[in-house]
Amino acid sequence: MSTETILLIAVVTVALAFDVMNGFHDGCNAVSTVIYTGALKPKVAIGISAFFNFIGPLVIGVAVASTIGGVIKASDATAHLVIAALAGALLWDILTWIWALPVSSSHALVGGLLGAGMAALGPAGINFGKVALIFSSLLISPILGIATGYLFMKMSKFVFGRLRLDLDRADGFYRHMQILSSSWVSFSHGSNDATKVMGIILIFIAAREGLDVDEYILEYGFPLWVILSAASAMAVGTYLSVRSFRLIRTLGEKITHLHPVNGFSAEAGGALIIQAASLFGLPVSTTHVVTSSVTGTGLAGGLGSVSWKVFRAIMLAWAVTLPFCAIAAALIYYALNLVM
At 215 the pLDDT is 93
The model's pLDDT over 199-256, given as tens digits with 9 standing for 90+, comes to 999 999 999 999 999 999 999 999 999 999 999 999 998 888 765 555 555 544 445 5
At 83 the pLDDT is 96
Q: What is the mean pLDDT of residues 291-308?
A: 67
At 95 the pLDDT is 86
Q: Where would I find the beta strands (DSSP E) of the chain?
A: none
The SS3 call for residue 306 is: strand
- Torsions phi, psi for 156 (to 5 deg): -65, -45
Instruction: Measure the CA–CA gap between 84 and 115, rounded to whole angstroms.
Output: 9
At 142 the pLDDT is 80
With contact defined as beta carbons under 8 Å apart, do 72 and 200 qualify? no
**Residue 116 CA to its chain's centroid (Å):** 20
Q: The whole model's pTM is what?
A: 0.85
At 314 the pLDDT is 58
On the CB side of 318, CA atoms within 13 Å amount to 19
Residue 303 pLDDT > 70: no
- What's the mean pLDDT when you consider all of the chain? 83
Query: Looking at the chain, how many residues does it have?
Result: 340
Instruction: Measure the CA–CA gap between 160 and 143, rounded to whole angstroms.
Output: 26
Q: What is the mean pLDDT of residues 186-197?
A: 89
The model's pLDDT over 28-86, given as tens digits with 9 standing for 90+, comes to 666 776 776 677 787 888 889 899 999 999 998 888 998 999 999 888 899 999 999 99
Angle between helices 3-26 and 195-208 (to 10 degrees): 170
At 27 the pLDDT is 66
Dihedral (C-alpha) 288, 294, 300, 304: value to the nearest 10 degrees? -100
At 253 the pLDDT is 47
